[in-house]
Structure 1
Amino acid sequence: MASSVKVLNSCTSQPIMIPVADFDGDDVRCRFASSSAECSGICTVPSYFTLYEPTCTLTYSGSASDGNYAIAIQIEDFINPASTLPLSSVPLQFIVNVNSTGSCSNQPTFISPTPAEGSTMQVYNGSLELKARVRPSNVSEWITKFHILSPLNLVMSAISQPVSNEYEVTISWTATHPVDKIGEYISCFSAETNNRLSSGSRCITVNYTGHGVSLIGHGGYQRGYGGNLIVYGGSLIGYGGNLIGCGCSLIGYGGNRRGMVVT
């Protein structure tokens, strides 16, 4: 997240998404820091800021005077949504700049081909590539930064300008077996103008089901690394890879084979 975020004074209910992710899939929540050990001299929360803890969304009500406001947050992960004992607690401190210059429609916005908020991106053959494109509301402004927060080692290209008043980056990822674990990973990105106006966060889910695997066919559960699986009616035929099958026949060459009958 950027060290400072700009909001417009005249606009009510402006959400500031705090991008969070947990590699282990734990339940993540945010709260305002409360003790001097957590926030020292910035523990007092201005009344015009509220925090929705389950989604880590800070909302500005639009009633503050122009100026800079320090916000201290604790990001915590829990074993499940019912737990009250955090596994860890990480501090986050940043500045919210309240400014009267501009209207409520001045924030830059994500446009196509950016993935929709909350969408799932599937990793195919161990790699992923997507584009994030933003349009500033004013032609006199331009995008100077894109920010990414993800447990994956996402790589971002330089900012390009495919057409007038639109700014784009390519975000990519390549799995490194066996370091990268199979699972779903929340990844968020945002953009910022030369006047420090933020687009807000766009969050997606990256679904990684295996490294370097091609799957063809129906009728069985398939999982492999470093090889090709061709499946028809629950049978697996593989070359140079590991095969794991349940209740089906397996034929393998140059690889490991294992079968289990499940009832």
Structure 2
Amino acid sequence: MRLGDLLKKASKYLSERNVEDPSLEAGLLLSWLIKKDISYIYANPDIILDEENEKKYFSLVERRGRHEPYAYITGECGFLDYTFYVDPNVLIPRSDTELLAQGALYALGQDPKYFDQEMFRLKNKSTYRVLDIGTGSGCLAVSIAKGHDSVLVDAVDISENALNVAQKNAKRYGVENRITFIHADFLDKSIVLPGNYDLIVSNPPYIPLNEMPCLMESVRNYEPAVALAAGSDGLIFYREIAERTSSLLSKSGILLVECGYNQGQKVSEIFSDRGFSTLLLKDLSGINRVVAATTK
């Protein structure tokens, strides 16, 4: 079948199943399968796809029609300048979380992108120790390690399967020797971490339990609930992080956490009530997405 006809058929199939932007999704799947840029497909609609790849393509389209996320179908997701391996054991990295990674790199001395606050910049050191709470795919830990050669990261997650994914990504980018992966439940107060971290980052679960049924089908039915749900108000992890951070951060250390679209002020207050100076960082949509905190 011609590429143009394949796209039309796939777009119609996805549209009938209420997949958002079906034409784009159909094009992206075909582009990924045949390893050609989507612009090539649009420019060459009369090229014939062989029968074997045609069957593979419609198998992919059927999966997307069941609202399985594109990232799980292809096994990869872009984040900053990297492409991470992902599977259903980990939350799919979001563009919102790039602000958290950029804030961390700013704290480590990179040029500012979204803010310029000297208070949230670490002093020069030969080695920086970083803690990533709830590492998931490892997108934060790996991006930070890749972005700064003097960083050593401890990456914690409750899921061994998630840590396996994170380790694959660390090896993919050659930073596995600078990241220590720790299998632990951060909410378990008996867990002992080394402490004296210069920087702590976390994109913790923050969806209130009563909002879980309202999530998009592709999130609700496919992404790990343990990486999403966070008690009755979605703030349980922030309270625990705020309680334990004083014993984990170095004297002039910095903390950065991502939060939900309507949680910024509440999360900021959780840390300010513990004596931290805080700063709210807005994402590209103008939403308070990251809380930076320090005791400097």
TM-score of the two chains, using structure 1 as the length reference: 0.25
Higher relative contact order (CA 8 A, sep 6+): 1
Larger strand share, 1 or 2: 1
Which structure has the greater CA radius of gyration?
A: 1
Structure 1 or 2: larger helix share? 2
